[in-house]
Amino acid sequence: MGTQRPLIVPWLIEQLDARRYPGLSWLNPERTLFRVPWKHGSRQNICDEDFQLFEDWAIARGRHRPGIDQRMPSEWKRNFRSALNRKEGIRMFQDNSTDSEDPHKVFEILHAPNLNDSAQGAAVGDVSPTLSGSTGLYGGSSSSSQGDTLESMLSSLEYCSPAEGAENLACIGGLPPFSLDMNLPVIAEPQLDQILGADTFGSDFEVRVYYRGRLVLADVFKNMRGLCFVPPGSQGCYRDLADVVLPDPVCLNDSLQVTYTQRLLRGVAPGVVLRIEGMTLCGMRQGHCHVSWSHSEMPEDETTHGVLPKEQLGPIYSVQQFVQDLVGYMEGKQGSPKYTLWLCFGEDWPDTRRPWKKKLLMVEVILKTLEGLYELSQSSGASSLKGAEPDLRISDSLQGSFLNQLREWREKMEVQFN
C-alpha cells in the first residue's frame, strides 16, 4: 500500500490556517471565502514564490519530485485549478487574476468538508497533461488507478479562461509562455469565433503514413498543439507544431509509383497543417497538392469528410461533438465515437471505387487523448451495441464518476458555445 494522497480542500484549509503562503488567506470570519494568488506566467516580475503553493500541491499528490523532475510551474497551476474545479462543495467566487496590482482568485466553500474522508483521494486533483501509450494503461488496473487516469485525460479538456488557455498551451507544447507562433490566417467560420482562444485541449498524436497501403512511417508526437506534414528534407515554419517528415519513396519497389509519389510530395511544400484551435482540430494545405480528409478509412455515406482549404484553417474535428457522442455511447444510445482522422493526398477521398490501400499517400492520425477516453469508457462498462446496458459489474463508482463528469463538461461547453 502506498502513502495515501491528500484531498485538495482539507489540504488547502490546512495551508490557509497555517498562513504558509503570502497572499493565501481567509476573507471572512466564517472561513467560507478565501483568496489564492494567481499571477500569470507571462508577467515580468514572476518568481518561484508565486508558484510555491502549486508546486507543494504537486509534491503532496506525488506528481513532482524536487531535484529529480523538471520544474513545470504552468502544469502545477493547471493541476491545482483542475482539482478545485472538480471538487463538489467549492466554487470560484470571483476572478481577479487580471488585476495588474494584485492578481488573485476568490473561492467559496459551500459546505464544510469532512477532513477525515479520503475515500476519493485517488480520484481528485491528480492531473497530468501527458498520456502514455494505451497499451497496458487500463488492463488490470484498480478503480483507484482508473480514477487517476480519468482525471488525467479529462484535465486536457479542462475549461479555462483565455489567458489561462494561452498559458496552458505553452505548458502542453513544452514552450515558454507566449512563445507560440500566432501568425496564422484567421478561421472564417463564424461558429468558431467563440472557440478560438477560449479553451484548449492537449493531446499526443499517433501518426501512420502509408504509400499504397504500405506502412512507411509510424511515430507518436507527444504534447503538441498540432502537426505539420512536410516533404523529405524539408521542415515546417511553426515552432509549436511537430514536423512530420514524409519519407522518401525511393524505398518502394515500383519505379512508377516512386515517380508519382515524388511528384505528389513536391506539391505538399511548404506543408500541410493540423492545428488545435480552442476545442477544435483544424487543418489547411499550403501547397498546390489537394488533401481530402475523413473520420474513417471506410468510404461510407455517413462518414464525416471534407477537403482542407488552402492557406486558411478550417475545422475538421470537434472535441465537444466527441464528448457528446461518447456520452451517448456510454448511455447505450449510439455506436462508438470516432477519434481517428484519415488524410488522402492528391486524390479524391472518400472513394467507393478504390480502397484506401490503393491510394498513393494516406495518413492516419489518432488523437491519443480521445482514444484514451474511449478506452476508459469501455473499461467502465460501455458497450458498442446500441441499446445495450453498461456492465456495471466492472466498476460502479468509475462508471458513474466518468459519465457524470463527461455530462458536466458537455453542459459547460453547451452553455459556452451554443
Phi and psi of 154, rounded to 5°?
A: -65, -25
In contact, 225 and 276? CB cutoff 8 Å:
yes
What's the CA dihedral at 80, 82, 84, 90 to 10 degrees? Answer: 160
Q: Which pTM does this prediction carry?
A: 0.57
Model pLDDT, residue 404 = 78
Model pLDDT, residue 136 = 33
How far apart are the C-alpha atoms of 200 and 31, rounded to whole Å?
33
Nearest to 126 by CA among 21, 8, 1: 8
Phi and psi of 261, rounded to 5°?
A: -70, -40
Q: Which residue has the cell 492578481?
A: 103
pLDDT tens-digit profile, the chain (418 residues): 455 678 888 899 999 999 989 999 999 998 999 999 998 766 667 788 888 999 999 999 888 888 888 888 888 888 888 788 777 778 888 888 888 888 999 999 886 555 444 333 333 333 333 333 333 333 334 444 455 555 555 555 554 444 454 444 344 333 333 223 333 333 332 232 333 334 456 788 999 999 999 999 999 998 678 999 999 999 888 888 999 999 999 988 899 999 999 999 999 999 999 999 888 899 999 999 999 999 988 866 677 899 999 999 999 988 888 888 888 888 888 888 889 999 999 998 888 888 999 999 999 999 988 888 888 787 655 555 444 444 443 344 445 567 777 787 777 766 555 5
Give the orientation angle of helix 368-379 with respect to helix 396-417, to 10 degrees: 140
Nearest to 201 by CA among 227, 224, 178: 224
